[in-house]
Structure formats: C-alpha cells, structure tokens
Copies of this chain bind each other. A is one copy, B any other.
Amino acid sequence: MKKNKVISPFKPAAHKHQECLKSAIKNAKARCDVSGLRLTPLRQRVLELVWQSHEPVKAYDVLDELKQGHSSSSAPPTVYRALDFLQEQGLVHKIESLNSYVGCGNPEELHTGQFFICRDCGSVAELDDADISSLIEKKANSFGFKIDNEMVEIKGHCQECRDSEK
C-alpha cells in the first residue's frame, strides 16, 4: 500500500475552498502553457463553475450558470465543447455513472483516476493509485487484453458523513 496517491481527498466541509479554486486556475494556466493551447475566458469560466464544489456538476447546470453571466450567450455546445477541451487537458474528469464532471486535483500528469463518491454529501475523492491500476492491468494481461482506458467509480459513504450520522 505504498503507491496510494491521493489526488483529491475528501475535503472537510469547512475547508477554505477559495484556495482549491485558485490553485485549479493556476494549474490550468500552467497546463495550457505547456500544451500551447488557449485557456480562453469561456473555458476558464466553465472550469471555475465545475470547481464551485467538490461535487460532480452537470453540464446543464454549468450552462444555466453561464447564462446568468450576462456577457455572452450560451447553448449546449458552448458548455460541452469547453468540457471536452478541459477533459482533453486533464483539467476535469467525467464521472460516467453520474453524467457529471468534476475538477481534477492534479492535472500535471494525465491520468484516468479512481473516484470515490459519497452518497450523502455528494463529494468526490480522486486517487491515482498505481496498485489498483497495475492489478487491473495484470488481470487484463492474463487473458491477453490490452488496456487503453480504465474507469473506476466507487459509491459509498465518506468518513465525515459516517461520523456525523452518529
């Protein structure tokens, strides 16, 4: 159990979320500098909206909030295109089982993580755990399967919610 790399832990309800947000934007800028692609105002805005919380966010909720910002008009492709871009850059992940999107805590190296989703508070923790990945790969190898994408989404109840339920 050495390689249990926690990308985003479950955050205590009372943490300073402003810091998460700031760091996410900083990471995004750094990432785009490296890739040479543009973090346009629209893309940055969508990223901020996804990072409003540690809970997965729906595309149409992002869209509704975009529309509030009077500045520019918006339609579904607006948000789906931005989300696609952010996913390609590793800045957000899609949670397939929820049709939702969540910010990535470590976009520095591209990865598909393992997600743990609390059914009570809705929060997500992200791992990029080499033990899990290599075990899955070993199993795949045993029947000649070559992996190109790993999706692991685990539902349950986080420590904080279990504690507060008594």
Contact = CB atoms under 8 A, between A and B. Distances in A.
A157 B146 contact: yes
A127 to B, nearest CB: 7
A154 interface: yes
State the copy count for this chain.
Answer: 2
A131 to B, nearest CB: 6
Q: Specify the main secondary structure of chain A where it touches its partner.
A: mixed
Interface string A116-133: 101100000101010110
A158 B145 contact: yes
Contacts of A127: 139
A23 interface: no
A154 B151 contact: yes
Contacts of A18: none
Given A135-B131, A152-B136, A155-B149, A143 B96 contact: no
A148 B156 contact: yes
